């Protein structure tokens, strides 16, 4: 059992804290945001993630997991410190690591005995050296410590499962002792023969960016193939399934749609491209994936315009799904943002509904007409557009949908509706790469 302090109670910090406490460790999740800590201590989880509330409640009740604003004291208390603060995209496309460096300074000022200091935040390659330098500058008593890069690979909507049952654990450390400490905190995974990758700090940092960028490339690739299927009559579902049966390719992330979003892929791909430019390397493939993603959202807007006879002015559009993917309330870089912006710019009005993310989208578009269910959202609308693949949209009562709308027009950007049923009910519709005869 280790004493672990996690600095940062965002997405990564909360899931990691809950998971590590469930492994039997004593965990303190700390943050400078007192309001957030007060909510957590009141049992209110500030993000939506399936299974997270149950995990936090169980370990909080058993006193293995606590939330605090006492950062300095928690640094001194810990044997292992995980840095899990945000690294948002800066104006020039690079990752903003100012919060990470600020935490490193704070750790340096308060280190009081040997500790393993570990970064879980996604940071550019070489940040580990900067963190160690900042700690050393403030570690006036020269207390010994070791540093480790331990990137996270959590999918929003499946993060609890991903933490408790990961594909691999990546550890880039500065000593064998640090490896042993980290292996100990992940002991339940180690004894279950989860693959552990032991490597250098820089390699661990690169693995994170390389993995996210590759997945983004796969999404953009299948979207380009889907667009070609639109024009040729080929079926992208059959194409994707056939590609996925090839052991060299894998079927994962081959789901055509309106493009990738969220807190990771958009910023991580851009950050990697900018980082490479600083080293005189042109990441042409990743750059192309970013461009394709931007184009894909514009293409969805054009599809909607075409369905409404090239005119959105005065039209009422139901936007079904606001989160960037199902099982999350995260709207960061959601494709729905581009759709909503374009509809409003072209004179249309919107009724919006998401099972979870209405409140999140209100921070961006407070003036929209938000509804509490899809029936209210589509009633009297000239068209509906499905932007998120929530299960309740997969099983829409299409007859009821047609009855409620002023005209039966729908754009399914996630390819989740029954095409045969849409045709039977005489909907005017479109999707992505699944040719409408």
Q: Give the domain ranges of the chain.
A: 3-199, 209-290, 301-430
Q: How far apart are CA 290 and CA 275, in angstroms?
A: 15
Smallest CA-to-CA distance from 271 within 258, 283, 253 is with 283
pLDDT (0 to 100) of residue 436: 60
Give this prediction's pTM: 0.93
Smallest CA-to-CA distance from 71 within 45, 47, 102, 42 is with 102
Where helices occur in 279-357 by DSSP H, the ranges are 284-307, 335-345
Two structure tokens written together for 107: 């750790």
Q: What homologous superfamily does CATH list for 301-430? A: NAD(P)-binding Rossmann-like Domain (3.40.50.720)
* Full pLDDT tens readout for the chain, 437 residues: 899 999 999 999 999 999 999 999 999 999 999 999 999 999 999 999 999 999 999 999 999 999 999 999 999 999 999 999 999 988 888 889 999 999 999 999 999 999 999 999 999 999 999 999 999 999 999 999 999 999 999 999 999 999 999 999 999 999 999 999 999 999 999 888 999 999 999 999 999 999 999 999 999 999 999 999 999 999 999 999 999 999 999 999 999 999 999 989 999 999 999 999 999 999 999 999 999 999 999 999 999 999 999 999 999 999 999 999 999 999 999 999 999 999 999 999 999 999 999 999 999 999 999 999 999 999 999 999 999 999 999 999 999 999 999 999 999 999 999 999 999 999 999 999 986 65
CATH of domain 209-290: 1.10.1040.10
Beta-carbon contacts of 420 under 8 Å, excluding residues fewer than 6 positions away, are: none
The CA angle 205-208-211, to the nearest 5 degrees, is: 145
Report CA Rg, the chain.
Answer: 24
User: What secondary structure letter does DSSP report for 230?
Assistant: H
| Catalytic choice (29, 148, 229, 264) | 264
Q: How far apart are CA 5 and CA 13, in angstroms?
A: 10
Q: How far apart are CA 287 and CA 274, in angstroms?
A: 10
pLDDT (0 to 100) of residue 91: 82
pLDDT (0 to 100) of residue 437: 56
Residue 58 exposed, middle or buried by CB count within 10 Å (0-12, 13-18, 19+): middle
Neighbouring CB atoms inside 10 A of 267's CB total 22
Two structure tokens written together for 94: 């690079």
405-436 as b/e, with b when 16 or more CB fall inside 10 Å? beebbbbbbbbbbebeebeeeebebbbbbbee
In this structure, the dihedral spanned by the alpha carbons of residues 317, 318, 323 and 329, taken in order and rounded to 10 degrees, is 130
Q: How far apart are CA 343 and CA 312, in angstroms?
A: 7
Segment (H or E) for 145: strand 145-149
Q: What is the number of helices (H) and of strands (E) in the chain?
A: 19, 14
Catalytic (active site) residue 29: no
Is there a common fold for 3-199 and 301-430?
yes
The CA angle 168-261-239, to the nearest 5 degrees, is: 75
Q: Which CATH class is domain 3-199?
A: alpha beta
């Amino acid at each position: 059992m280790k004493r672990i302090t996690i600095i940062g109670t965002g997405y990564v910090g909360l899931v990691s804290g809950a998971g590590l406490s469930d492994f039997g460790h004593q965990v303190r999740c700390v943050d400078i945001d007192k309001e957030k800590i007060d909510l957590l201590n009141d049992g209110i989880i500030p993000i939506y993630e399936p299974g997270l509330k149950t995990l936090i409640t169980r370990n909080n009740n058993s006193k293995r997991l606590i939330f605090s604003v006492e950062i300095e004291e928690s640094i001194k208390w810990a044997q292992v410190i995980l840095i899990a603060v945000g690294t948002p995209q800066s104006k020039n496309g690079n990752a903003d690591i100012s919060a990470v460096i600020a935490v490193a300074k704070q750790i340096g000022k308060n280190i009081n005995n040997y500790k393993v200091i570990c970064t879980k935040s996604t940071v550019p390659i070489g940040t580990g050296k900067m963190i160690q330098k900042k700690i050393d500058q403030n570690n006036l008593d020269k207390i010994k410590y070791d540093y480790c890069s331990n990137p996270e690979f959590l999918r929003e909507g499946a993060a609890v499962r991903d933490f408790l049952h990961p594909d691999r654990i990546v550890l880039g450390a500065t000593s064998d002792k640090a490896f042993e400490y980290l292996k100990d905190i992940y002991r339940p995974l180690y004894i279950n023969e989860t693959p552990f990758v032991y490597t250098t700090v820089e390699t661990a940092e690169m693995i994170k960016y390389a993995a996210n960028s590759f997945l983004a490339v796969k999404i953009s690739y299948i979207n380009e193939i889907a667009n070609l299927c639109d024009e040729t009559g080929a079926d992208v579902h059959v194409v994707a399934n056939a590609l996925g049966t090839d052991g060299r390719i894998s079927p994962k992330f081959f789901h055509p749609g309106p493009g990738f979003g969220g807190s990771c892929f958009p910023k991580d791909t851009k950050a990697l491209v900018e980082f490479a430019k600083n080293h005189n390397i042109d990441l042409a493939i990743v750059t192309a994936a970013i461009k394709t993603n931007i184009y894909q959202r514009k293409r969805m807007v054009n599809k909607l315009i075409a369905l409404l006879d090239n005119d959105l002015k005065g039209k009422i559009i139901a936007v079904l799904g606001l989160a960037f993917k199902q099982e999350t309330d995260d709207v960061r870089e959601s494709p729905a943002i581009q759709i909503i912006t374009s509809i409003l710019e072209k004179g249309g009005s919107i009724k919006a509904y998401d099972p979870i993310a209405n409140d999140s989208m209100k921070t961006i578009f407070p003036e929209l007409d938000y509804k509490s269910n899809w029936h209210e959202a589509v009633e009297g609308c000239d068209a509906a557009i499905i932007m998120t693949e929530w299960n309740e949209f997969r099983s829409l009562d299409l007859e009821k949908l047609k009855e409620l709308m002023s005209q039966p027009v729908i754009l399914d950007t996630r390819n989740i509706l029954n095409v045969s049923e849409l045709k039977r009910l005489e909907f005017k519709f479109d999707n992505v790469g699944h040719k409408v005869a």
